[in-house]
């Protein structure tokens, strides 16, 4: 059984951020085009569930998973 990746905390300096912005801010993806492709393609999960909305509002404590990495939204 594969051990899940450790969770990396990424401070956003506020209360919330959109999923697409967070993917770039956290260094999970480099460009808006890559973000769009990954999210629409179902390769991004929020709190363990696939989410296909780039504009989804993330809140403090949400965990975003992509390509074997997991990052948590922090203030």
What single string gives the DSSP state of each residue in 34-46? HHHHHHHTT-EEE
* Mean confidence (pLDDT) of the chain: 94
pLDDT at 39 over 90: yes
Query: Average of pLDDT values for 14-41?
Result: 95
Residue 20 in contact with residue 55, Cβ under 8 Å?
A: yes
The pTM (predicted TM-score) of the whole model is 0.92
Query: Average of pLDDT values for 22-27?
Result: 96
Residue 15 in contact with residue 57, Cβ under 8 Å?
A: no
Instruction: Name 32's bridge partners.
Output: none
Least Cα distance to 61 among 51, 71, 49 occurs for 71
CA dist., res. 13 & res. 43, Å (int): 26
Query: Average of pLDDT values for 17-27?
Result: 96
pLDDT at 1 over 80: no
């Amino acid at each position: 059984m594969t051990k899940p990746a450790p969770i990396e905390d990424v401070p956003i300096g506020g209360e919330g951020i959109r999923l697409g912005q967070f993917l770039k801010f956290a260094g999970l993806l480099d460009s808006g085009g890559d973000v769009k492709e990954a999210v629409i393609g179902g390769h991004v999960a929020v709190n363990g569930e696939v989410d296909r909305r780039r504009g989804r509002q993330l809140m403090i404590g949400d965990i975003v998973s992509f390509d074997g990495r997991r990052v948590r939204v922090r203030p």
